[in-house]
A and B are shown apart, each in its own frame.
Chain A
């Protein structure tokens, strides 16, 4: 349904151990089972080399790896330092390059960390630069806990744009504190033209129970359409996909646009 909505990139699943993320246990079946529309990319997360190999065996044509701008977050999340995590990813990058598989790099905690608090823009720039120079074609900068505000977004992007060309940058804003769209708008004004979002604002936040998750794709598309920015996305089909998955999850949508249109 998401493919039919015209989205150019749909992150399909994560080749992570089901012990950590049970929801992604069926990663191989999902990737094999989806209809791959021409012109649409279906990247998958690959946290380690084993996951990468399983992803390729299941037909993945694009993978994503994730670092963090916080040492404590990296340690608590994947039990190693930032440098060690990047070394692990190097294996994946070399193999992916040999197989002509593009790799996207994520940087978590770019506007704040649930353990360290403030994160310096210089640190974000350093990690982004490393991932880019290792061969990632694009770096997605994630405000993982949604604490950022437009000024902090601007400062972080200013620092990163000294090291990575803006055409290779994306933003990934969580809406935990309702700031996602405002922060995304700031990023767009700075030249970023790739934005991560999640239909129905799915995602939640493991660090703030009761909090919302990613920026809702419907709300993002609404704003961009209003601004006259082309996205290629069919909002009606997107709303249908959102309604479908919310029913399957037995939860209400977090998208304001979906809520507003449901009343009609």
Chain B
């Protein structure tokens, strides 16, 4: 719509626009003043905890192997953005996930800022012990709501994986280490297709019952849409309190934000973009963030 403008150079910079629309400057996004509060949507939580999974879930899917020192620098930059939880690495065998081969060095090498949590993935007891030895103070385990995916991904049935995780979570609880539970394929499976909310609820309940403080429901292949997300959450919330739930949406089909539909709060957007820019250079690719793409016009 509209013609190509002849006065682009007189436009406000993207910083000015973001300042006006998100009320951010050098400080924190989403710090509302009374005049702007009317733009808040009702029915939304006041505060949303963002769990930054770029260094783990993000990097493990990138072809370019990022050197250890760059991973450490990346995570240190993220620590300065105001994010309160940053998933650092995965103590998985390097044979399966070469990108995470340097898990110990990364965990030992990052600066652990006070007030920020640095969970790591621990698929089994061996990984858990290594993680603790490397200084981890929070761990995650990941199950799936699909038998085929569980077999393909971690080579065992859902039931067998739960038994493994019980071991890990029990040991973690003995050491006062909080454990987070992930449920993959919550809105669809690459092998089985559709996944019932009941199955997701069953797996989530199992993980919550064994002691995970939070369950992150993952739309692993991004096939979900707002309706299926709503149905899923309605089912899971019958068994698990909302404050113990998180969503983890992949953007494969561009649906992630619509599926999430929440506001950022307490995060310095510019520093997040700087960290994003840094890691994109390290993996030699362009950012997938539209906000970052728009900002490059400056």
Contacts and interface: CB of A to CB of B under 8 A. Distances in A.
Nearest to B39: A151
B263 A206 contact: no
A79 to B, nearest CB: 9
B298 to A, nearest CB: 9
A219 interface: yes
Contacts of A260: 222, 252-253
Interface string B4-27: 111110111010111011100000
Contacts of A154: 39, 41
A165 interface: no
Contacts of B1: 45, 66, 106, 108, 140, 142, 144, 172
Nearest to B221: A260
B258 A185 contact: yes
Interface in A54-81: 66, 76-78
A77 B3 contact: yes
A125 interface: no
B224 interface: yes
B193 interface: no
Instruction: Give the interface residue-count category, chain A.
Output: 35 or more
B291 A177 contact: yes
B3 A21 contact: yes
Interface in B199-248: 222, 224-228
A77 B228 CA distance: 42
A166 interface: no
B261 A117 contact: no
Contacts of A21: 3-4
Interface in B1-59: 1-8, 10-12, 14, 16-18, 20-22, 38-41
Given A151-B263, A181-B257, A256-B251, A117 B17 contact: yes
B297 interface: yes
B31 to A, nearest CB: 15
B2 A178 contact: no
A206 B295 CA distance: 13
B4 to A, nearest CB: 5
Contacts of A255: 254
Contacts of A148: 21
Contacts of B4: 20-21, 206
Nearest to A113: B12
A228 B251 CA distance: 20
Contacts of B175: none
B284 interface: no
Residue of B1, B226, B263, B297 with highest tally of chain A CB at under 10 A: B1
A178 B289 contact: yes
B281 interface: no
A242 interface: no
Contacts of A44: none
B12 A115 contact: yes
A227 B227 contact: yes
B93 interface: no
B296 interface: yes
A178 B21 contact: no
B289 to A, nearest CB: 7
Interface string A178-211: 1101101110000000000000000001111111
A76 B7 contact: yes
Contacts of B253: 219, 222, 256-257, 260
A-B pairs, top 10 by smallest CB distance, nearest first, are: A226-B225, A178-B290, A256-B254, A219-B254, A211-B294, A151-B39, A76-B7, A114-B11, A208-B297, A209-B297
25 contacts: A16-B3, A21-B3, A77-B2, A108-B1, A108-B2, A112-B20, A118-B20, A146-B290, A151-B39, A182-B258, A182-B261, A184-B258, A185-B258, A185-B261, A205-B294, A207-B297, A208-B294, A208-B297, A216-B254, A219-B254, A223-B258, A226-B227, A227-B227, A256-B252, A260-B222
Given A179-B257, A186-B41, A207-B11, 20 more contacts: A47-B3, A77-B3, A112-B20, A115-B12, A117-B20, A144-B2, A145-B17, A146-B290, A146-B294, A149-B22, A150-B261, A151-B41, A155-B38, A176-B294, A181-B258, A185-B226, A206-B8, A210-B294, A211-B297, A226-B226
Interface of A: 16, 20-21, 45, 47, 66, 76-78, 106, 108, 112, 114-118, 140, 142, 144-152, 154-155, 172, 175-179, 181-182, 184-186, 205-212, 216, 219, 222-223, 225-228, 255-257, 260
Interface of B: 1-8, 10-12, 14, 16-18, 20-22, 38-41, 222, 224-228, 251-255, 257-258, 260-261, 263, 289-291, 293-297
